[in-house]
Amino acid sequence: MSISEMISEQKLQERIAELGGQIKADYNGKEITLIGSLKGGVMFMVDLSKHLDPATTEFEFVEASSYGDAKESSGEVKLSKGLSGKLEGKHVLIVEDIIDTGLTLGFLIDHLKTFKPASIKICVMLNKPEKRAIKNIDVDYIGFDIANEFVVGYGLDYKGKYRNLRYIGSVK
């Protein structure tokens, strides 16, 4: 397997700082709960949170996937870790590593709505618009639009490996 650098560590960190500034300004002192999507979104969420107000930011995590160990979505989303906190009346920001088909995010949005939050917004590090199967998902904050390539690094994996690359790499 060959991996070529697509987005450098420096570009990732610069864009994350920009997103953090935009989110901080948009929420302007409101309390927000970041919902991190395990396992891929952890690195992005941690770095993003460093640019938000610590006095108004809470963390929660979910684990849902339609990929398993494959390079293509199975079409079926499985939730393997649910929420531990209460979200009713809270502003929720889903922090996701990547949106491609939209199946996982669509599932998470529907699941989170049952908790009656005040608002739900979405922040993704990578967006693959040409792969979208679920068209009605509005992503509020996008790090990078990318082509329909299989990518690893900075939290993204292939069979559990390559998450700890400091950059986003395209798999050949």
Position 39, amino acid: K
DSSP label of 35: E
pLDDT tens for residues 9-26? 999 999 999 999 999 999
Cis check for the bond before 159: say yes or no (omega within 30 of 0): no
In which band, very low, low, confident or very high, does the pLDDT at 71 lie, cut at 50, 70 and 90?
Answer: low
User: Is residue 132 a contact partner of residue 98, using CB atoms and an 8 Å limit?
Assistant: no
Q: Has domain 7-66+78-149 been given CATH number 3.40.50.2020?
A: yes
Measured distance CA(4)–CA(159) in Å, rounded: 18
pTM of the complete model beyond 0.85 = yes
- C-beta atoms surrounding 116 within 10 Å: 11
How far, in Å, CA of 17 to CA of 12, rounded? 9
Contact call for residues 45 and 59 (beta carbons, < 8 A): yes
- 70 has pLDDT over 60: no
Q: What is the pLDDT of residues 86-132, one digit of tens each?
A: 899 999 999 999 998 888 888 889 889 999 999 999 999 999 988 77
pLDDT at 77 over 90: no
Task: Give the pLDDT of residue 38.
Answer: 87
CA distance 53 to 30: 9
Would you name the residues annotated as active-site residues? Answer: 100
- Please check the confidence at residue 1 and state whether its pLDDT lies above 90: no
Give the whole-angstrom CA distance, residue 155 versus residue 143.
Answer: 14
